[in-house]
Structure formats: C-alpha cells, structure tokens
C-alpha cells in the first residue's frame, strides 16, 4: 500500500472534528429546505402573482420537480460523483450549491420588477438545491460511517439526523424570532429574505469547514484509482443490498414524515389545537428526538443495529393506529405532546441508525451511490407523498385509513429487519480491510 493511501491513525478528537465538519452541512441544507416551506406564505405572492396563470403553472412545476424528481436524481448524480471523485469533493460541492441557491433566492427581485424571470429563477434555483439535498444523504452517510472509529460508528453516524432535526428546529426558531420582531407587512415586503441570507452565510461557513476536512481512508485506498467506481453497472451487481435499502427506508420514511411533518397539521385540523400551541409541542418533541439520536446510536454500538430496527418496526406497527386515534380526540396540549413524543421515540429506532446500516451493506467503490440512490427513490415516491395521501383520505372522510397505511408500511419494513443479518457484525466497512478471498473479492459479507 502506498504512503498516500495508508490508513491514518486518528485520535477520537480528530475523528470528531471531521464528523462535525461532515455533518454540519446537513443542518444548513435542511435549514434552507425548511425555510423555503416555512416562509413560502410570505414570498409566494412576490414570485407567483395569482393573476398570472403562467407563473402559477411554474410554481406547481417547481414543487413537483423539487419534491419528487430532484431527490432521486440528486442522489444518483452526487452519489456517483462521491464514489468517483471523493466524499469530501461531493460534500463540498453539495453545500456550495445550497449556499449559492439561498443567496440567489434572497437577492432575486420580485415579479413586479423583472416579470416572469422571477419565478423562472426561483424554479431553476430550487431544482439545483433539490439536486444538492438529494445527494447529501448518501454522501454524508458514507463519509460519517467511513470516518468513524469502528466501535463508535452507530454513535457518530447518528449525527446525520441530529443535524437534520437541528436544521428544522433552527428554521422554526428563525421564523418565531422574525414573526416576533417584524410586522406581517414587513415579512411580506422584505422579512422573508432574511432567513435565506442567514442560510447562505451559514453555508459559506460550512463550506470553509468542509474544505479543511480529511478524505476517508476507505476512499483513498479503494476508489481513487478505480475507474469502475460509482457506476450503475457496478450497482446492479448488488440487487439484494439495493432492495434491502428500499425495504429499510419504506416504513422509516413514511413514519418519519407522518410523525414529524404531517402530525403538525393533524393536531391543528383534526385535534383542533391552536397553531401556536402546536408549534411549541412540535419544537419540544423534536428537541427530545434530537437528543435521542446519539443515545440510540451509541446503544447500537453495544447491542447491535437490528434490535433498534425491531424496536421501531414492532412499535410502529402496533402503536401508530392507537397514537393517531387517541390524538384525534384529546383536548389537552400535554396529552398531545406525550403522544407525539411516543411517536418520535419509536421512529428514533430507525432514524438514529439507518445511515450506518445502509452504509455497512455496500463496498467502498459503490457505497455512496448504493446508499443514496435507492433511498432517494423510496423517499421521493413514499416519503414525499405522505402529506398528500393523508390529506386526500381526510377529504373523502377516510382519515383513519391513513393510520393503517403508516402501520402497514412499518410492518413491511419490520419483515425486512427481521430477516436481515446484523450489519455491525458483518460490516463491509471492516471486511474490506481484512476479509478478502484469494481472487481479491470480498468474502462472506459481500456475497450476502
């Protein structure tokens, strides 16, 4: 092994520094994503005036393209780039795109100033940001799992969802502050631009941090000179792993968006709670969920990944219908909070370790694409449609069927969790260093 590809002996402090740099960008990217949703009510009129039908169509196309098309496309493009050019290069590019996009949105003149160019610029910008966000998951999951010390991979990889939830909380906090200090007229006039400026500045800071982080040893040793890395041809050699990721993600993404996103609307529309009260409940429950991620991740390093996945699968299957059914009829904000908390504690069995479980399934040369692409497809098709399915069922007076839909999706994933092997014991990340057959291929792990 050449000197430039020899493994680097890193202290836990040095590892933690790289993990921090690699995961912090995830927070900024999700902050920008949630800011767009949170402040859309204030800037939509500036970009999509109701009297202009063309602009309205552009608005619809933007929501569709970003929410569904760009996530899997981004995971494919950025995953392939990460497997061929490096995790550091992909993560740096990802946050650069997001920073540029936020700044462009903040500075784009309104429709009344530049006409139809305003919504066109917004649509194109969000397409690129969707590409960035779609590629962030697989690449950051890969980097965190490869950079982490072997006995603490569950703990370190859990910071992917720590930063994801942090981005959502940060966006909510900025919204609360601006609504407190600015009038409604000021928010419609210029206030909505402020969070995009904040996101752009934060992304520039993260960009500087990512430029200083180290590349993983696995990539340097395996992928740097491998021209076949990150190709669809190579990915097709791992169909079982591909569909395992789909199965892992199916119930997890539906449950995650049901409990962390749609539940807010459910508490307002069905339970009948005040919107401000719901915001506080949401903030408190998500804060506790954030704290649980590294705790559950560290626990997986002790007892394995599979028990936590089974915790989520069994809990989600058995308790989703009761949680939503009871929540529909409660009148106490405290009761609503504890019901939401029960939901996010169950979901944390999936969110805390799903990144490392998927990363442990694939070899280095296809890991970022293998983790990101099937995940992106599943989230686009099922996670991105959770709210629409729920609202449609509500509109036809069949809202309770949504509870069973979420429980059924979790049950499907439970079957996958039950049948799969313990990835922490048979990880490809470890196997690549020591477990090679005579022909150079991975031994018992890769063939599973």
**How far is residue 130's CA from residue 218's CA, in Å, rounded to a whole number?**
28
pLDDT of 427 over the 90 cut: no
What was the pLDDT predicted at 230? 62
Q: By mean pLDDT, which of 77-86, 160-169, 216-225, 387-396 is the weakest?
A: 216-225
Q: What are phi and psi of 183, to 5 degrees?
A: -75, 165
257-278 pLDDT tens trace:
999 888 988 998 888 888 778 8
Give me the mean pLDDT over the 27-41 stretch: 79
Q: How far apart are the C-alpha atoms of 35 and 120, rounded to whole Å?
A: 19
Residue 443 has pLDDT above 90, yes or no: no
Q: How many CA atoms lie within 13 A of 72 on its CB side?
A: 14
Average pLDDT (104-115) is: 89
Residue at token pair 């805390």: 352
Across 60-87, average pLDDT: 77
Domain boundary assignment for the chain: 12-434
Q: What is the mean pLDDT of the chain?
A: 83
204-225: per-residue pLDDT in tens? 888 888 888 888 777 777 655 5
Residue 296 has pLDDT above 60, yes or no: yes
Specify the higher pLDDT residue, 66 or 231: 231
User: For residue 28, what are its two tokens?
Assistant: 């900024």
With 80 as the cut, is the pLDDT of residue 355 above it?
Answer: yes
Q: What is the DSSP string of 317-378?
A: HHHHHHHHHHHTT---HHHHHHHHHHHHHHHHHHHTTHHHHHHTTS-GGGHHHHHHHHHHHH
The 3-state DSSP composition of the chain as helix, strand, coil percent (nearest 5) reads 80, 0, 20
pTM exceeds 0.85, yes or no: no
Give the CA distances from residue 187 to residues 111, 119, 225, 271, 390, in Å, rounded to whole numbers and listed in that order.
Answer: 17, 19, 52, 29, 30
What pLDDT is attached to residue 13?
Answer: 80
In CATH, the architecture of 12-434 is Up-down Bundle (1.20)
CA atoms within 13 A on the CB side of 42: 24
Residue 86 contacts by C-beta under 8 Å, 6 or more apart in sequence? Answer: 215, 219, 223, 224
Closest by CA position to 270, among listed 322, 340, 328: 328
**What is the rounded CA–CA span in Å between residue 348 and residue 345?**
5
What pLDDT, in 10s, does the model give residues 172-196? 888 888 888 888 889 888 999 999 9
pLDDT higher than threshold 70 for residue 22: yes
Residue 310 has pLDDT above 80, yes or no: yes
């Amino acid at each position: 092994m050449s000197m430039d590809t020899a493994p680097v002996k890193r202290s836990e402090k040095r590892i933690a520094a790289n993990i921090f740099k690699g995961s912090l960008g995830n927070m900024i990217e999700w902050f920008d994503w949630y800011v767009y949703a949170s402040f859309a009510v204030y800037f939509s009129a500036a970009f999509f005036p109701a009297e202009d039908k063309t602009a309205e169509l552009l608005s619809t196309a933007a929501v569709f393209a970003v929410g569904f098309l760009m996530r899997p496309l981004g995971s494919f493009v950025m995953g392939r780039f990460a497997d061929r050019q490096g995790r550091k290069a992909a993560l740096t590019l990802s946050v650069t795109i997001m920073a540029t996009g936020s700044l462009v949105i903040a500075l784009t003149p309104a429709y009344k100033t530049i006409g139809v160019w305003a919504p066109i610029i917004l649509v194109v910008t969000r397409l690129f940001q969707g590409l960035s966000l779609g590629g962030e998951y697989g690449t950051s999951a890969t980097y965190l799992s490869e950079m982490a010390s072997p006995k603490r991979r569950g703990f370190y990889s859990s910071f992917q969802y720590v930063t994801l939830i942090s981005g959502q909380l940060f966006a909510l906090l900025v919204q609360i502050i601006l609504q407190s200090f600015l009038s409604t007229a000021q928010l419609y006039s210029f206030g909505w631009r402020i969070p995009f400026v904040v996101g752009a500045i934060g992304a520039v800071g993260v960009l500087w941090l990512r430029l200083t982080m180290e590349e993983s040893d696995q990539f340097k040793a395996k992928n740097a000179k491998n021209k076949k890395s990150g190709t669809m041809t190579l990915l097709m050699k791992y169909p079982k792993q591909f569909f395992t990721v789909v199965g892992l993600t199916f119930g997890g993404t539906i449950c995650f968006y049901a409990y962390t996103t749609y539940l807010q609307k459910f508490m307002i529309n069905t339970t009948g709670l005040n919107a401000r009260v719901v915001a506080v409940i949401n903030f408190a429950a998500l804060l506790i969920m954030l704290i649980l991620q590294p705790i559950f991740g560290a626990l997986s390093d002790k007892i394995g990944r599979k028990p936590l996945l089974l915790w989520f699968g069994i809990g989600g299957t058995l308790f989703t219908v009761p949680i939503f059914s009871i929540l529909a009829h409660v009148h106490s904000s405290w009761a609503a909070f504890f019901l939401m908390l029960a939901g996010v504690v169950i979901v944390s069995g999936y969110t805390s370790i799903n990144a490392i479980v998927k990363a442990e399934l694939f070899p280095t040369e296809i890991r970022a694409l293998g983790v990101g692409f099937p995940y992106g497809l599943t989230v686009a098709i099922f996670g991105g449609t959770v709210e629409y399915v729920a609202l449609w069922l509500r509109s036809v007076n069949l809202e309770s069927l949504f509870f069973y839909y979420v429980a059924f999706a979790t049950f499907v994933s439970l079957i996958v969790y039950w049948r799969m092997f313990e990835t922490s014991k048979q990880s490809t990340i470890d196997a690549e260093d020591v477990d090679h057959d005579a022909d150079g291929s991975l031994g018992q792990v890769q063939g599973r």
